[in-house]
Homo-oligomer: A and B are copies of this chain.
Amino acid sequence: MTKSTFVNGVDRQKLFGTIEAIKANASTANFQFRLFNQWVSGGENRSRVDDYRGADEEMRHSRPFFLINDQPNVLMSGDIAPNPVEYLLHALAGCLTTALVYHAAAQGIEVGSVTTRFEGDLDLRGFLGLSHEVRRGCKAIRAVFTIVAECSEAKKRELIEIAQKHSPVFDMVTNGVPVTCTLAQSRMQTAA
């Protein structure tokens, strides 16, 4: 390799090793991410992220992570944390950025900085069930990237294309995923 093994903070040796391992055994590519959420009151609820499945093994994060959803006062809650739509934008921003930076590293392109600005337009009539013509989610999301890197504007645009082409969250948010919601088997439950 002509580049140092770390580019953009990504260990290229490990990245190429992962790619070889998956080429040799596709089941290593199967991941399952999990989350446990508990309602608190009004628009407040909390999630715990801990175990996941990856590379054919049960795994655990370095520690459990706790996340809080809330709604602003104008949406009738205490405004102690971002709301779910803002978390969706955070997921989207993070995944596109990671896809951009990892694929740039694979190509040996050193990136100095990436900053993004996201906006999503939401008509509350959907959530409230006040209109059948209005969708419940955002009708559009816009992202503007500012990239500092030793490459041309054209190459920066290409990196943004590569990010969109490979980001799992971008795929889910733009193309949709089947989500199945069920009620747990009935038995006596104690309130937490």
Binding site for B on A (CB under 8 A): 8-11, 14-15, 18-19, 22-23, 26, 28-45, 47, 49, 52, 54-55, 59, 61-62, 65, 67, 69, 71-77, 79-99, 101-103, 111-131, 134-148, 153, 156-157, 160, 163-184, 186, 189-192
A9 touches B42 (CB 8 A): yes
Residue numbers in B under 8 Å from A170 (CB-CB): 136-137, 179
- Which of A39, A167, A173 neighbours the largest number of chain B CB atoms within 10 Å of its CB? A39
Residue numbers in B under 8 Å from A34 (CB-CB): 89, 117-120
Which residue of B has the minimal Cβ distance to A123? B29
Q: How far is the CA of A18 from the CA of B130 in the complex (A)?
A: 11
Which one of B26, B42, B138 contacts A8 once the chains associate, using CB atoms below 8 Å?
A: B42
Residue numbers in B under 8 Å from A38 (CB-CB): 113-115
- Which of A144, A172, A191 neighbours the largest number of chain B CB atoms within 10 Å of its CB? A172
Known: A79-B61, A91-B91. A36 touches B98 (CB 8 A): no
Which one of B67, B101, B169, B184 contacts A146 once the chains associate, using CB atoms below 8 Å?
A: B184
A interface SS class: mixed
B113 touches A191 (CB 8 A): yes
A174 touches B171 (CB 8 A): no
A174 touches B174 (CB 8 A): no
Residue numbers in B under 8 Å from A153 (CB-CB): 183, 186
B113 touches A182 (CB 8 A): no
Residue numbers in B under 8 Å from A30 (CB-CB): 121-124
Q: How far is the CA of A146 from the CA of B190 in the complex (A)?
A: 10
Q: How far is the CA of A43 from the CA of B96 in the complex (A)?
A: 10
Residue numbers in B under 8 Å from A32 (CB-CB): 119-122
B183 touches A128 (CB 8 A): no
What are 23 A-B interface contacts by the 8 Å CB criterion?
Answer: A9-B40, A22-B128, A26-B125, A35-B93, A37-B117, A39-B115, A54-B74, A59-B72, A65-B82, A69-B91, A69-B97, A84-B95, A85-B169, A88-B88, A103-B129, A137-B169, A145-B183, A160-B182, A164-B179, A164-B181, A170-B179, A173-B176, A175-B176
